[in-house]
Amino acid sequence: MLSDGTARTPPPHRQEGTMRTFLTAITVLLLALVAHAEDREYKPRRVVKPYPAITDPDFLPASKVLAEVTSAELVLGVTLDGKARAYPINMLTGPQREIINDTLADTAIAATW
């Protein structure tokens, strides 16, 4: 059988602290909800000016890629309607390269890192 991916939790204590446990659980839940709300508040920070959008970049067929990309390098790979395309991560760092506007199998896509 395959491993079951459920998170394992330790068995609950069942001593005189039942009420305490209950109150602790409620407090933790409330804090988690507050943290959730705070983390989800949209407060971006500007670090740099915007970069121009990258559109219609150049591509090569696999057969023409020799030394440019080595075997253990990471790529972001996508297939759509039988067409496959790879975006080597070492071309997507920057931050100026983090978004590539592209079209694959007639579908407008954005490859992002």
- 21 vs 78, which CB is nearer to other proteins? 78
Site for other proteins in 26-45 (CB under 8 A): 32, 35-36, 39, 42-45
How far apart (Å, rounded) are the C-alpha atoms in residues 7 and 47?
37
Q: How many residues does the chain have?
A: 113
How far apart (Å, rounded) are the C-alpha atoms in residues 82 and 3?
32
User: Is 21 a residue that touches other proteins (CB under 8 A)?
Assistant: no
Asked whether 51 and 94 are in contact (CB, 8 A), the reply is yes
User: Is 49 a residue that touches other proteins (CB under 8 A)?
Assistant: yes
Site for other proteins in 72-111 (CB under 8 A): 72-80, 83-101, 107-111
Find the binder of other proteins among 10, 12, 61, 81 (CB under 8 A): 61
What's the DSSP call for residue 94? S
Find the binder of other proteins among 2, 14, 15, 19 (CB under 8 A): 2
What's the min distance (Å) between Cβ of 12 and other proteins?
A: 17
User: Is 69 a residue that touches other proteins (CB under 8 A)?
Assistant: yes
How far apart (Å, rounded) are the C-alpha atoms in residues 53 and 94?
13
Residue whose token pair is 């998170």: 7
